[in-house]
Structure 1
């Protein structure tokens, strides 16, 4: 079987790997000049198995209002004249209730837990290097109220079997010694011991090389104009340069841009681009730098150690398909790294980046079959594409090849939006 994969980010490349591993002939097409050059390029670096949860949660609408008045607020909403944007926002608010949260959380954990379980096998099989670490995530609380409020998260973690530790201030410093320099700025933390870290783009590039060795063909610089439909099936993918690229089956792994090619053929997905920011800076002194990932609960900013670099990522900006990196766009993430690890890295050498996270209003990715027998989806992972990449891609590859996935696809497919 020949399979055309649309998208060469971490989702598309891992899909290609699992397809090729099972004997498929695979062609990957992407508009960029190489793999992992969009949302996979400089994300937070977290493999957040313990922090897998939808943004749409009880109490979020009220929190969002408060965030809008913070000096370094984690959320920006630009008042665009966009029915699509406002419809997505309304749908998200509609999921901010206990029942929806538990349903959506369960679906997301199913994918991320599977990804956690299968990723080590992929690493062992391929030997890819990606500055990986397995030292967990420390959710850092600056106030006693935040510490107390984490009890609800602890209950959910326990329900889904995600290991965690509740740490007082000194115990946090035991895990992240550099925090001793700022011990007066936090009261405690919640450590998610199963979480890992690593450079998503480094992983994507290394896995691409393994895919090429397996016979996968990568065609870059191929902007997709449309998906061609003939006699109720996908007949090919029309590109600006190569023309029509054909196969027996097709997988759309285009992140936020998936809707642009799916809407015209009648597949209406509520996937919206939510902009995020990051900076990457060199470590100047290991003794004063983070060792794994710290999540600042106040600013919703993640600080992750990637080899001899520090990645600081956060913020959510709802502003359409804007990739603009303004002069003050990274002020919040720079503030957090300077506040918590002032001696750890050289902020003057920080490289800024922005990317578009493909978010669904319920937080769950959209995987598997569509109304067309030979078209499949692997998109809508939001901030968890790196976390869910191996699990979602292995499951989708099985579906494409007519096999039964090792996890249930109930609630993960586009069918949940049919109503």
Structure 2
């Protein structure tokens, strides 16, 4: 079976790996010059199994309004004249209630936990290095109100068998010793002990190299123009340089850019780009730097240790497909790392980045079959593409190959939007 995978980000490459591992002939198409050069390039570095939750949650509409008036706010909304953006926003608001939150979270956790369980096997099989650590995530609370509000999260974590620890100030410092220098800035935390960290770009690049060894063909610099439909099936992928590229089966793993091709082909998915920012800076004093991931609950900023670097990521900007990195775009993430880990890294040498997260209004990615029997989907992972990559790729590969997947696809396919 010849399979064409569209997209060489972490989702596309892991999908290609599992397909090739099963003996399929795989070709991966991507417009960039190599793997992992867009959303996978400089994300937060979190494998955040314990923090797998939809953005659409009870109370979020009120919080979002408050965030818009913060000096260093985690949310920006540009009022574009875009029916797609506003329709997506309305759908998201409809999911901000207790009933939908629990349904959506259960679907997301199903994928996340599966990914947590299968990723160690992939690492053992391939031996790839990605600056990985297994020291958990510390959700840091600056106020007693935040700490008290985490009770609801604790109940849900217990329900879904996600291990955690509730820590006071000294407990947080024991987990992240450098926080002892700024002990007056927080009151406690919630430590998610099963979480891991790692460089998503390193992982994607190393796994792509393994895929090549397995016979996978990567065609870079191939901008896809359209999906050709003939007689009710996908007949090929039209590219700008190579013309039509054909296979037996096709997988769309194009993240935020997927709807640009899927909509003309008659597949309407509410996947919308939500812009995020990060900076990566070198560690200059280990004792003053983070050891794993800290999530600042106030600013919604993640600070992650990646080998001899610190990755600081956050901000949600709803501004269409803009990939502009303005001069002050990373001010918030820079402020947070300097506030909590002063002297740990060299901000003067920080590398700024921006990327588009493919968000669905209910938080759950879109996996599996489409309306065409030879086109499959693996998209819409939002901020959790790195977290869900191995699980969603392995499950989708099973479906593509006609095998029984190890997790249920109930509520994960595009059918839930019909």
> TM-score scaled by structure 2?
1.00
Aligned to 2:48: 48
1:316-347 superposed Cα distances (whole Å, 9 cap, x missing partner):
00000000000000000000000000010001
Question: Per-residue CA shift, 1:341-360, capped at 9, x if unaligned?
Answer: 00100011110000000000
Query: 1:270 corresponds to which residue?
Result: 270
Which string of whole-angstrom CA distances, capped at 9 and with x for unpartnered residues, describes residues 335-394 of structure 1? 000000001000111100000000000000000001100000000000000000000000
**Separation in 2, partners of 1:178, 1:329:** 26
In structure 2, the residue corresponding to 1:317 is in which secondary structure?
A: strand
- For residues 143 and 360 of structure 1, the distance between their equivalents in structure 2, rounded to whole angstroms, comes to 31
Query: Is 2:244 aligned against 1:240?
Result: no
Give CA deviations for 1:2-50 in whole Å, capped at 9, x if unaligned: 0000000000000000000000000000000000000000000000000
Match in the other structure for 1:306: 306
Aligned pair 1:394/2:389, yes or no? no
Aligned residues: 418
Written as runs of structure 1 = structure 2, the 5 A alignment for 1:36-75 is 36-75=36-75
What do residues 108-131 of structure 1 show as CA deviations (whole Å, max 9, x unaligned)? 000000000000000000001000
Counterpart in the other structure of 1:98: 98
Which consecutive residues of structure 2, in runs of 5 or more, have no partner in the other structure? none
Aligned partners of 2:255 and 2:284: how far apart in 1?
A: 35
How far does residue 96 in structure 1 lie from its aligned partner after superposition? 0.0
- Secondary structure of the residue aligned to 1:264 is coil
1:73-152 paired onto structure 2 within 5 Å: 73-152=73-152
Whole-angstrom distance in 1 between the partners of 2:222 and 2:284: 40
**SS at 1:64's partner residue?**
helix
Partner residue in 1 for 2:414: 414
Distance in 2, matches of 1:69 and 1:221, equals 42
**Gaps in structure 1 of 5+ consecutive residues:** none
**Corresponding residue for 1:290?**
290
RMSD of aligned C-alpha atoms? Answer: 0.3
Report the Cα distance in structure 1 between the residues aligned to 2:181 and 2:199, rounded to whole angstroms.
27
**SS where residue 265 of structure 1 aligns?**
coil
Structure 1 ranges of 4+ moved more than 4 A: none
Match in the other structure for 2:26: 26
Q: Distance in 1 between matches of 2:243 and 2:117?
A: 39
Q: TM-score, normalised by structure 1?
A: 1.00
Give the whole-Å Cα distance in 2 for the aligned partners of 1:369 and 1:84: 23
**In structure 1, the residue corresponding to 2:264 is in which secondary structure?**
helix
- Residue number in structure 2 paired with 1:168: 168
